[in-house]
Chain A
Amino acid sequence: DSGVTQTPKHLITATGQRVTLRCSPRSGDLSVYWYQQSLDQGLQFLIHYYNGEERAKGNILERFSAQQFPDLHSELNLSSLELGDSALYFCASSVVPSGGSVNGELFFGEGSRLTVL
Chain B
Amino acid sequence: AQKITQTQPGMFVQEKEAVTLDCTYDTSDPSYGLFWYKQPSSGEMIFLIYQGSYDQQNATEGRYSLNFQKARKSANLVISASQLGDSAMYFCAMREAMYSGGGADGLTFGKGTHLIIQP
Write the residues of chain A forming the contact surface with B, with a CB cutoff of 8 angstroms.
2, 31, 33, 35, 42-43, 45, 48, 50, 55-59, 88, 90, 92, 94, 96, 98-111, 113
CB 8 Å contact bits of B41-72 with A (1 = contact, 0 = none): 01111110010110000000000000000000
Q: Would B45 and A101 count as touching, CB distance under 8 A?
A: no
Q: Would A48 and B111 count as touching, CB distance under 8 A?
A: no
Q: Would B97 and A100 count as touching, CB distance under 8 A?
A: yes
Partner of A90, one of B32, B45, B53, B97: B45
How many residues of chain B are within 8 Å of chain A by beta carbon?
31
Q: Which residue of chain A lies nearest to B99 when distances are taken between CB atoms in the complex?
A: A99
Q: Which residue of chain A lies nearest to B91 when distances are taken between CB atoms in the complex?
A: A43
Output the least CB separation between A103 and chain B (Å).
5
Q: Would B103 and A56 count as touching, CB distance under 8 A?
A: yes
Output the least CB separation between A98 and chain B (Å).
6
